[in-house]
Amino acid sequence: MGVRHHKAGAGSCGAVGGPFSEGDHLGRPLPQAGEGGMIDMPLTVRRAIGYVRVSTDEQAAQGHSLALQPERIRQWCALRELHLVDIVVDEGVSAGVQLHKRPGGKELMHRLRTGEADVVVVFRLDRLFRNAQHGLNFVRDELDGRGVNLHSITELVDTTTPTGRLMLTMLWAVAEYERDTIRERTRSTMEGLRQQGRVYGTTPYGCVAVGGRWDEALGRVVGQHLYRDPKTWPHRELIVQLRGPHDGAEQLSLQGISTELEARGIPAPAGGRRWQKHSISRVINTHGGLKHIQPLPAEHEPAVSEAAQP
68 and 144: one domain? yes
56 and 126: one domain? yes
Where in the sequence numbering do the catalytic residues fall? 55
Interval 13-67: pLDDT, tens: 433 333 333 444 444 444 454 554 444 555 568 999 999 998 766 554 444 577 8
Interval 125-149: pLDDT, tens: 889 887 777 888 888 888 988 999 9
CA terminus-to-terminus distance, the chain: 49
97 and 218: one domain? no
Cβ(203)–Cβ(307) under 8 Å?
Answer: yes
Cβ(221)–Cβ(215) under 8 Å?
Answer: yes
169 and 256: one domain? no
Within a domain: 302: no
215 and 157: one domain? no
Within a domain: 193: no
Torsion angle defined by CA atoms of residues 266, 268, 274 and 280, in that order, rounded to the nearest 10 degrees? -100
Tell me what pLDDT residue 306 has. 44
Contacts of 25 (CB under 8 A, 6+ apart): 1, 74, 77, 78, 83, 84
The whole-angstrom separation of Cα 165 and Cα 101 is 26
Higher-pLDDT residue of 155, 122? 122
Higher-pLDDT residue of 85, 305? 85
Within a domain: 157: yes
28-37, 132-141, 242-251, 287-296: lowest mean pLDDT where?
28-37
Q: If pLDDT is split at 50, 70 and 90, which confidence band does 186 have?
A: low
The whole-angstrom separation of Cα 149 and Cα 118 is 6
108 and 221: one domain? no
Cβ(49)–Cβ(111) under 8 Å?
Answer: yes
DSSP letter assigned to residue 141: I
266 and 159: one domain? no
Burial (CB count within 10 angstroms: exposed 0-12, middle 13-18, buried 19+), residue 128: buried
State how many domains the chain has.
2
CATH label of the domain that carries residue 11: 3.40.50.1390
Domain that holds residue 41: 2-178
